[in-house]
Structure 1
């Protein structure tokens, strides 16, 4: 496993995304992922599965210090009281004393960003979250957040068909990281001839080529969801090869501003 070092925390570049995983499926997925070697688990209040994630972590019986857990505060809870109560509720459901990273899940037109980040910094000082960050922030809003607080990452949709070059430039300017959700473009990479051909060269699947492309970039992590043992194992098996600079560039060239996640409350995105 490769790690990204952020504020004295080591963040595994590959994690398990748990969006839409519920109940026993979620619990089993988390426990199995940890048994396979995953050390980064991503959840959110909106996923309504934190309790299941917590049971999965408990089932795995892993040393808490060896696991990196992220949760997120929903965009309708972005007040001092909403953030505080939200994180307390998340910790209770996860059966944890702290999470490693708490994110603002989506920005809101009604939020007071200063108050939101001040609240997260207070919770950080209280030891309830080790790190703080944001998700789904365009570059300008990311710059504003960084000017207020030591946010360490922006979790955004990122895959070969959506470049995120503007956000990446802003992140790298401040030595921050990008966490890629929807990293295999809801399965679209599986039928991409460019990725399939590269896969043949390395004896890997198009999914593995895509995940390798992501984590081989500076300060980029990926959190693919996988509800089967086979896919979780496959996703983790990407650290025994490297793509050439030319191959990395060829995958970058597939970008076509193809955004798959765009709810009606989303911000105005960077091109």
Structure 2
């Protein structure tokens, strides 16, 4: 009888050993599934956060486009205009729009000018800080763009909006911070206020659609040179690394 009892005890011990292995395998599998699920959730959350950040930057850039249009029109905004950091004209009552003579190659005060010949030789491959002849103003600084001055890479020498700082109204270079010339209140929740550059072009026979008889809203004839502007705005999200650049052509 003792040998039989010993055999049964050995069999039961072996069965318990197999059950332990099976349980351990189940635990490993469940742990792996849990880790995978957690990673998927974190990835989805990160994607949603990035998408929201991108959308914030896009909306900020669109706001800067509208702000630039108001800047070009120099529309009478009443008390809002009086709260602006800077003025394009010598008096708030002067609302004739931008002066074409104020546009320059250095993009001082955000007003950029390049000849048609200069645009024709623009080359993304060769443009850089030292070869700006091949660059367009709205390109990144590393490609010769004019968003900031060479001695002010962080854009700190620009008019401030919150609080108002007009110490650099006449000499700042590059993108115009949101509300600088219109008095629009700063956008909340972004790492940096959106900004814009304005380029000026002269074109003949430019109409906004085929049924218009005048070139612009000022009823210029088709034989006259029409003034048009290209606005480039860039907005920032929760981080300055998140940027969206938008462009629009504006006829005054």
Q: TM-score range by the shorter chain?
A: under 0.3
Q: Which has the higher contact order (CA 8 A, sep 6+)?
A: 2
Q: What is the TM-score with the length of structure 2 in the denominator?
A: 0.25
Q: What is the TM-score with the length of structure 1 in the denominator?
A: 0.24
Q: Which has the larger radius of gyration?
A: 2
More helix by share: 1
